[in-house]
Amino acid sequence: MRIEISANKLRSDFVKKVEEISGETLPSCYQCGKCSAGCPMSFAMDLLPNQIIRLVQLGQEDDIAKSKTIWTCASCLTCAVRCPRGVDLSKIMEALRLITLRKNTDYVEPSKIEGDTIVELPQIALVSSFRKFTA
């Protein structure tokens, strides 16, 4: 993959926004890959969790936007408790989701969920999905 790295991208508004929303220090990550090794959803991700944080470090907003990884994360916090550098990647994933959701773009559309499914699912499934994936 060919990417452009420039001073503008490294300190772009996007990077600053991720840091502000997540409260995490992005350069702390040294790419050991522990987060991806333990991630229970990595089998379904197009970019691994450690690749996501690397792309954020490098300001590659477009590559992240093309990926489904942030919408595949289940916020199980396994990465957060195992990171040897104390980076809470779950907060970075949340910040990335919110950057999209705050533009009033839903990932899950409640009105499109079938009636039977709604009746079947426990309330915590619906509430947590809407909390995570709707604006």
- The b-or-e profile of 81-100 (16+ CB within 10 A means b, else e) is eebeeebbbbbbbbbbbbbb
Site string for another protein, 45-84 (x = CB under 8 A): --------------------------xx-xxxxx-xx---
Q: Which of 1, 7, 27, 43 binds another protein (CB under 8 A)?
A: 43
Which CA distances in Å does 21 have to 93, 95, 107, 119?
A: 10, 5, 19, 34
Separation of alpha carbons 52 and 35, rounded Å: 11
Of 5 and 76, the one with the shorter C-beta distance to another protein is 76
Residue 127 within binding range of another protein, rule CB under 8 A: yes
Residue 77: count other Cβ atoms within 10 Å of its Cβ: 12
Q: How far is the CB of 2 from another protein (least distance, A)?
A: 30
Residues at the contact surface with another protein, assessed by CB under 8 A: 20-23, 40-41, 43-44, 71-72, 74-78, 80-81, 88, 90-91, 93-95, 98, 107-108, 113, 117, 120-129, 131-133
